[in-house]
Amino acid sequence: VTARRPTLDRALAEALIVVCVGSGGVGKTTTAAVIGLEAARRGRRVVVVTIDPAKRLADALGLTDGLSSVPARIALGDTTGELWATMLDTNAAFDAIVRRYAASEQQAERILANRFYRNIAGALSGTQEYMAAETLYDLHDDDRFDLVVVDTPPSRHALDFLEAPGVLVRFLDHRVFKLLMLPARSGLKVMNVAAQPILKAIGRVVGSDVLADAVAFFQSFAGMEGGFRDRAREVMTLLTSEQTRFVLVASPRHDTITEAVWFAQELTARRHEVNAAIVNRTQPRFGAITVDEALAGAASAAVAGHPDLAALWTNIAELRELADREDEVLAPLVEQLDGAPLVAVPLLGSDVHDLGGLAEIGRHLFSE
């Protein structure tokens, strides 16, 4: 007896942005690609953004040169929609913003050449998240695409990108930032600023040359905060819109389900709706045979002198035992979802190597 199985159909209808959220190693990037592929098959012009180079995904999509920060179109044969793929390049995205808001080319060059800038562009906590939000906004704005599917950084900080624009604004308002900006406003020299007690203390910890670079960076930043602030507000508005959908991705392990429940609670607390959850790599079930029935089958086959048949019964008992334990693991997530669909993708016999493999997963996520 099969009830109508849960799918992503409704979660994706009329979506403009789909955000895949989950901990590392749960197949988030692959899931994003599968969603993109299926949406393209349904006529959408989709771009999938990955957070890392995802080489295996690039191979599966037939991109021999790998993913880059410039969207590449995937050959899909006769499909009305389009599928494009790109990856987030934090440094390139940050450089682009600096160029956009700089008052002059000289100001932009000064910032881009600064050693401290080169460090923060990749390393400032929240930079990657902020740039993910930025890139998302750009692609959403791009006329070539009508759906953006994005994967999020594989960490507990994955949701930071929802707040990253706000964090950046707060950082610009921070008094240390203002202190560092001071020379630009009052005509003080870098060295005089570095002589401020608190900065002097920082300099003693990190080294004075590092500090001098930092002060120089913030000085060259002067005048750009306004543009940053406005943009951050636009990005926040987009992320809270009705047509931005959130899909949780997990694997059937106690720790990743705990994370998924945590993500769901955090999203709800930020007034985002969790539209669906996908659990990858679940144990497949074969027929409706219970563990006890299978063990009884194995025992009677053994007694009847059919060891091979007994081995097949034992096998099904073992697989069913794994599947049953998994249901216990998934229970807290089912409860947290409060009626939103939970779609299970069974473990495949082999890895995903091509578009056909992605489409096979797609058959588990969507109705025919």
Partner 1 sequence: VNPLQLTSASRVTIVAGKGGVGKTTVTAALARAAADAGQRVLAVELDGKPALAEVVPDVTVRTISAPASLDEYLRTHGFARIAKRLSTTGVIDVVSTAAPGIDDIVVLGKIKQLERSGEWDVIVVDGPAAGHAITFLTSASGMLDAVRGGPLRTQASDVVELLRDPQRAQVVLVTIPETTPVNEAIETAYALEDRVGVHLGPIVVNGVDPGIDVDLPDPATVKVPRGAVGAALRAAARYRIQRRVMQRAEIARLADDLAVAQVRLPMLATARLTADDIARLAAHLGGGA
Which residues lie near partner 1 (CB under 8 A)? 23-26, 52, 56, 116, 119-120, 122-125, 154, 156, 171, 174-176, 198, 201-202, 204-207, 209-211, 213-214, 251, 253-256, 284, 286-289, 306, 308-309, 311-313, 315-316, 318-319, 321-322, 325-326, 328-329, 347, 349-351
CB of 105: closest distance to partner 1 in angstroms? 26
- Backbone angles phi and psi of 221, in degrees to 5: -80, -15
Q: Nearer to partner 1 by C-beta: 129 or 213? A: 213
CB of 154: closest distance to partner 1 in angstroms? 6
Q: Nearer to partner 1 by C-beta: 130 or 313? A: 313
Q: Nearer to partner 1 by C-beta: 40 or 298? A: 298
The b/e string for 190-217 (b: 16+ C-beta within 10 A; e otherwise) is beebbebeebeebbeeeeeeebbbbbbb
Q: Nearer to partner 1 by C-beta: 200 or 233? A: 200
CB atoms within 10 A of CB 291: 16
Q: Nearer to partner 1 by C-beta: 3 or 205? A: 205
- Which residue, among 245, 314, 328, 340, has the nearest Cα to 282 in the 3D structure? 328
CB of 350: closest distance to partner 1 in angstroms? 6
CA distance 283 to 135: 36
CB of 100: closest distance to partner 1 in angstroms? 22
CB of 351: closest distance to partner 1 in angstroms? 4
Strand pairing class (72-74; 82-87)? antiparallel
Which two structure tokens, joined as six digits, stand for 106?
């000289």
CB atoms within 10 A of CB 14: 9
CB of 55: closest distance to partner 1 in angstroms? 9
CB of 68: closest distance to partner 1 in angstroms? 19
- What are the DSSP calls for 29-65, one per residue? HHHHHHHHHHHHHTT-EEEEEESS--HHHHHHTT-TT
Q: Nearer to partner 1 by C-beta: 81 or 183? A: 183
Measured over the CA atoms of residue 323, residue 325, residue 330 and residue 335, the dihedral's sign is positive
Q: Nearer to partner 1 by C-beta: 325 or 363? A: 325
CA distance 223 to 219: 9
CA distance 50 to 136: 11
